[in-house]
Structure 1
Amino acid sequence: MDNLLSIAQLSNEEIMSIINKAHEFKEGKVEQFNGYAANLFFENSTRTKCSFEMAERKLGLDVIPFETSTSSVTKGESLYDTAKTLESIGVDVLVIRHSQQDYYKELVNLSIPVVNGGDGSGQHPSQCLLDLMTIYEEYGTFEGLKILICGDILNSRVARSNHEALTRLGAEVHFAAPDYWQDKSLNADYVAIDDVIEEIDVCMLLRVQHERHNGAKTFEEAHYHHDFGLTGERYNKLKERAIVMHPAPVNRGVEIESQLVEASKSRIFKQMENGVYTRMSILSHILTKGDK
């Protein structure tokens, strides 16, 4: 594996290899690499950026600090020239998040690997893989699981990546969303959350992404929570073994009732924990091209 740009580039076998190695790291496996990593985040991030940095440090990589606000990006430097500069000074792997969808198509002339930390409303492969790891920890399979992904589907790279991977791995994926946040290009059924809440194995809630709406549609938070959020009443209807997930940050009281964020069925902070091990596995596969 030379880069990780989209979940679509991974075979089912490669997905399971990444998940299995992530479990090994979680159980104490140690790998050490000599080299340098840089995290280029052109959009704000807490979990993904810090998680990658923790993963890099655990693997022995030196992390080259990079902040857009103090870089030559403020002088108009292009993404390609920024990435090429870091390659030229000896960085071995780049993790990039950018608001431009498919930004990585501009970087084909780089000779160092790129990990996509999120591109616009396109893909978020590392989030998808940590979600898969979390689900696999619970069920030991994906075959036959019923997954509900609920929320801002149209603007969600998480929904897009997870739908692609989970469907291929044998899960039954449904969406729930207001009409104005539905993406008809994705081949999935849209359902009413109350029609399926008692049947699903995974309830995956999505953040309402205000920054991507460009004023196109305003909504009442209370109404959204009533129609599409995980309320206490809906939580109590979940199956005993069902789990609740969210990529975070959470808009408490909008996508999910605040006290449910750390309820017994919630795996939201477990996802964050697993994110470090998943990203260690991704970097290990890239730096060894999957041979180790």
Structure 2
Amino acid sequence: MGTPLWNRKHLLGMADMSREEIQSILDAAASLREVNRREIKKVPTLRGKTIINLFFENSTRTRTSFELAGKRMSADVINMSAASSSVKKGETLIDTLATLQAMNPDVVVIRHPDSGAQELLARHLDASLVNAGDGRHEHPTQALLDLLTIHDHLPLLERDSFEGLVVAVCGDSLHSRVARSIALALRTMGGEVRFIGPPGLIPPKAEEAFGTRVFHSMEEGLKGAHVVMMLRLQLERMNVGFIPSVREYFAFWGLTRARLACAEPGAFVMHPGPINRGVEISSEVADDKERSVILEQVANGLAVRMAVLYRLCGMGGGR
């Protein structure tokens, strides 16, 4: 896998990651995918390393893939949730991290409902910290696995790089940390991102903040798009009515086969999950084996998280 530039102690977000650092992760992930295809899916790469997964929000894909990523590389992996931690007994987050630090882990993977929590915690940790999602702020490993998935399909789009690639991110980008991370990542890699959705579900000043174009019509926004990324409605983060009803939302903003036809021929569909069928995407599109790469995203998530742990543990980098 070579020794590309990697001097980063933490992975907190995509905003300050260089093109070279991103490419370093994609290259490592592409190599590590081979491990997941073997009959015996284990290598001794991180033997003797300790990884703690600490999740203050529910998660299936991210938490499971980080756990499996560490175990596939022979690390000692400890999983914790807020429900089983002393935070429920009144302990502060900083005190919890101090307790974990006393265990001398090499990497701590954290998901937290408050935006910026990981950036604060990184100042108090000797171990490397991975942001597995913080509020509405960022979800960097999701953006990296999305980039890897897109990169796999560039030849089908008759392209050899991200330069000029048009990715339409559709739906609730206001509450989506995934939308922010992929917009920042693609801007770094030379792609164009469009946010498509009702005005109330688009981040304020998205053009300036994330370098995106904004559309309030699915049909208009999808014209010329090579990739269509659908986002779920994050109802748990909404404290007011952002949409009239789910039925009306699907009528105007749901991805159907007819709307997908507005995009470039061969455009493929992505979704970070979980999918809400009949809300932001039809089953016909979600299950289309020729156009949907949603399950490939899940598989690539494991490889990318293996690559992130590999780099942060000082393997194949300059730290």
- The question of a shared fold, defined as TM-score above 0.5 by the shorter chain, is answered with yes
Matching residue of 2:45: 32
- Specify whether residues 182 and 198 from structure 1 end up closer, same or farther in structure 2 by C-alpha distance, changes over 3 A only: closer
**Aligned-pair CA distance for 1:66:** 1.2
How does 1:44-193 map onto structure 2 within 5 Å? 44-107=58-121, 108-139=123-154, 140-187=160-207, 188-191=212-215, 192-193=217-218
CA distance in 1, matches of 2:16, 2:92: 26
**Aligned-pair CA distance for 1:218:** 4.3
Matching residue of 1:22: 29
| 1:158-204 Cα shifts (integer Å, max 9, x gaps) | 11111111112111111111111111232222122201434210001
- Count of residues in correspondence between the two structures: 292
Cα RMSD for the two superposed structures: 1.6
How does 1:242-281 map onto structure 2 within 5 Å? 242-263=267-288, 264-281=290-307
Task: Give TM-score scaled by structure 1 length.
Answer: 0.95
**Aligned-pair CA distance for 1:217:** 2.8
The secondary structure found in structure 1 opposite 2:80 is coil
2:194·2:221 contact (CA, 8 Å) conserved in 1?
A: no
Deviates more, 1:39-48 or 1:187-196: 187-196
2:57·2:82 contact (CA, 8 Å) conserved in 1?
A: no
The secondary structure found in structure 2 opposite 1:167 is helix
1:202·1:242 contact (CA, 8 Å) conserved in 2?
A: yes
CA distance in 2, matches of 1:12, 1:88: 35
CA distance in 1, matches of 2:316, 2:164: 28
CA distance in 1, matches of 2:181, 2:90: 31
Task: Give TM-score scaled by structure 2 length.
Answer: 0.87
CA distance in 1, matches of 2:162, 2:219: 23
The one-letter code of the counterpart of 2:291 is: K
Segments of 4+ in structure 1 off by > 6 A? none
Question: Which residue, 2, 8, 14 being the options, matches 2:9?
Answer: 2
The secondary structure found in structure 2 opposite 1:133 is helix
Unpaired segments ≥5 residues, structure 2: 1-7, 37-42, 155-159
| 1:29-62 Cα shifts (integer Å, max 9, x gaps) | 9551122111111011101100111111111111
